[in-house]
Structure 1
Amino acid sequence: MSIKTYIKRGLTYLLKGVPEYHITANITTLAPNNLLKGRTALVTGGTSGIGFEIAKAFLSAGAKVIITGRNQERINKSCAQLKEIKSDYLIYGIQMDNSNISSFKEKFEEILNLKNISEIDILVNNAGVLGGDIKDVTEVEYDQIINTNLKGVFFLSQLIGTYYKENKIKGNILNIASSSSLRPAASAYTISKWGVRGLTLGLAKLFAPYNITVNGIAPGPTATKMILKDDNINIAFPKNPIGRCATPEEIANMAVFLTSNMGRTIVGDIIYMTGGAGLITFDDVNYNF
């Protein structure tokens, strides 16, 4: 441990009266199972972080999985990593930009033409980007965030929902929201997640009569590369009530449950996996202008 780290912890104790700990989490991961056997899932933004872990958990639960990403090299690397876990996992990667709405129909047709893929019955709207604080965001940055995080989710859900309805598929749509969907909105990211929360409710009401189940998961600070550096395994997050970040594996466990038949009576709900962030505190985020 570096001297700098010791000094930081000492100052935290002196100023706040509580020690700063190096925190890890004893996470229970679902064992290989058949909860999603025979199902096929499309996971946007599945090359890293939460999306990657959801793809991994879905494969372990018996599903076939297609992940999307903007970078073909990263897609190939992620698919190879998943195949290394178990060689007979059926995993595909499709290059797709979630902000390029006009490409969705063509990309979806490409997916349906993949070998051994007969239909899609799970959509996970996970792709997203951070940023856009009102104090310094540009219009270009604002549009990119909204288009990726909200507009893309809206139109991909429209496409998949129509596909489910026309083909009488008893499908699922799972939206990855955020604890930011409960916060005072002062950034493009937060606005987009408020939109995802509202859209989840609307889609659930629209689609429930067609046996299409729509729900969401709202993570708080999560131990991904967006927050932690590559070499940082300390998931401590003192400003969060539980004192740590959530892990992508925890989010993925819930994603399996919600898209399985065990979650069929959960409709239009957002499961807040925030550790209290956004629910009982906003102190984990700085508001300044």
Structure 2
Amino acid sequence: MNIKKYIKRVFRYISTGLPEQHITAKIVTLSPNDLLKGRNALITGGTSGIGYAIADAFLSSGAVVTITGRNKQRLEDSCKKLLLSHPNCKERISFIVMDNKDISSFKNIFDQHQYLQNIDILVNNAGVQGGLISNTNEEEYDNILETNLKGPFFLSKLVAQNMKNNKIKGNILNIASSSSLRPGDSAYNLSKWGIRSLTLGLAKSLMPYGITVNGIAPGPTATPMLIKGEIKEITHNNLPIGRYAMPEEIANMAVILTSSIGHMVVGDIVYMTGGAGIITFDDVKYTF
């Protein structure tokens, strides 16, 4: 046994009285289905992590999928990867280069890509972390708030107006976070509190037009945002569940909430946090 790991386990037991958990997670994904057949989805930040997993699950559920991101090469690589998993879906996979902070470009992009007028599922997923109040600066703060909150605010406005004008009954799904429940000590936390509020406001405003708005709040998730390099270890002893969430788990819920199965879920945030932010804040240190 690795001596450092052994010492860590002993120290944890002495300090908390809890043994180290040995986690093995069997991640179940939805089988190919027609839950989203005929639907048209736009997923921001779809090149990796949760956004990519949602794109993959949506394709398996019959949707036409467009992913966005800032880097054309990464978008092309992600679409090729999706095509390898879905070789018969070439006509249902596309990408658009779009910066969530460039609000003025949204309308032009929609005008240039007429098929976006048919979008009936918007997934606001793109986001960046950071911005601790103890060491952030104004530039970093603005970057986080504009990417995580301002972008979804105005993109939702554009998509919702198009749905309303064209009598499209659809869904907006916002990716929040366990941070939307935590004390706000960072720009990231504040942005996710804002997403939670925006979800409620959009749901209240758009339900009369047949547009259903909900959110998913993942806890710490095994994505490149949190885990650099190849993801081999998902144990997280500071979380009640004992491990990171997997993007595929979030994607399963995204399919359910945007399909007919989820019609009665309105203005809700589904907290897939493993207990983070709900029954514990111990997975995050609060210092100044």
In the superposition, the TM-score normalised over structure 2's length comes to 0.95
* Distance in 2 of aligned mates of 1:6 and 1:236: 15
Q: Please identify runs of 4+ aligned residues in structure 1 that moved more than 4 A.
A: none
1:14 shift after superposition: 4.1
* Distance in 1 of aligned mates of 2:184 and 2:130: 12
Pairs within 5 Å for 1:1-289: 3-89=3-89, 90-113=92-115, 119-289=118-288
* Aligned AA (1:47): T
**Does the CA contact (< 8 Å) of 2:110 and 2:117 recur in 1?**
no
* Aligned AA (2:221): T
**Deviation sequence 1:112-135 (CA, Å, 0-9, x none):** 35xxx7711100000000000000
| More moved, 11-20 vs 85-94 | 11-20
**Does the CA contact (< 8 Å) of 2:59 and 2:86 recur in 1?**
no
Aligned residues: 286
**Does the CA contact (< 8 Å) of 2:43 and 2:68 recur in 1?**
yes
**Does the CA contact (< 8 Å) of 1:22 and 1:234 recur in 2?**
no
Residue 231 to residue 158, structure 1, CA distance change in 2 (3 Å): same
* Distance in 2 of aligned mates of 1:73 and 1:2: 40
1:242 shift after superposition: 0.8
Identity of aligned residues (%): 63
* Distance in 2 of aligned mates of 1:272 and 1:226: 19
SS of the counterpart of 2:172?
strand
* Distance in 1 of aligned mates of 2:105 and 2:117: 21
**Does the CA contact (< 8 Å) of 1:127 and 1:149 recur in 2?**
yes
1:27 shift after superposition: 1.4
SS of the counterpart of 1:237?
coil
* Distance in 1 of aligned mates of 2:266 and 2:113: 27
* Distance in 2 of aligned mates of 1:131 and 1:276: 21
1:230 shift after superposition: 1.9
Where in structure 1 are there 5+ consecutive unaligned residues?
none
Residue 105 to residue 269, structure 1, CA distance change in 2 (3 Å): same
| More moved, 101-110 vs 244-253 | 101-110
* Distance in 1 of aligned mates of 2:59 and 2:231: 27
Where in structure 2 are there 5+ consecutive unaligned residues?
none
CA RMSD in angstroms comes to: 1.5
In the superposition, the TM-score normalised over structure 1's length comes to 0.95
SS of the counterpart of 2:254?
helix
1:283 shift after superposition: 1.0
* Distance in 1 of aligned mates of 2:117 and 2:193: 34
* Aligned AA (1:269): D
